[in-house]
Amino acid sequence: MVTITEFLEARIEEDEFDANRELLWGTTPTLTRMNARILDECAAKRAIVREYQAECDAVVFTAQDADLSVAREIGLEIALGHLAAVYASHPDYRPEWGV
């Protein structure tokens, strides 16, 4: 079963592929800006996924750090749920990821 991070990485790769392909084909200035924005969104989504993965892998040394780490992880999980919800019609999407 695919994880939410694997699911998002795959969708991000698909979006990047499509946007890059459109840019290579040459389009109108409006479509060029739209595809450039899609690539920027992909980079931002990937950064959120990586932040979540880093937080899950983080080593915590104090109780205060543990509290902050848990709060940060929960916040990032909520963000991932929102990012995944965009792809709710995809067959690999799992409803429990929704927020």
Task: Give a yes or no: residue 96 inside a domain.
Answer: no
Task: Give a yes or no: residue 99 inside a domain.
Answer: no
* pLDDT tens digits for range 38-84: 999 999 999 999 999 988 887 666 767 777 778 888 899 999 999 99
Task: Give a yes or no: residue 98 inside a domain.
Answer: no
Domain membership of residue 13 as a residue range:
4-91
User: What is the pTM for the complete model shown?
Assistant: 0.84
DSSP state of 61: -
Count of domains forming the chain: 1
Task: Give a yes or no: residue 97 inside a domain.
Answer: no
Distance CA 49, CA 41 (A): 12
Distance CA 57, CA 53 (A): 6
pLDDT at residue 28 tops 90 = no
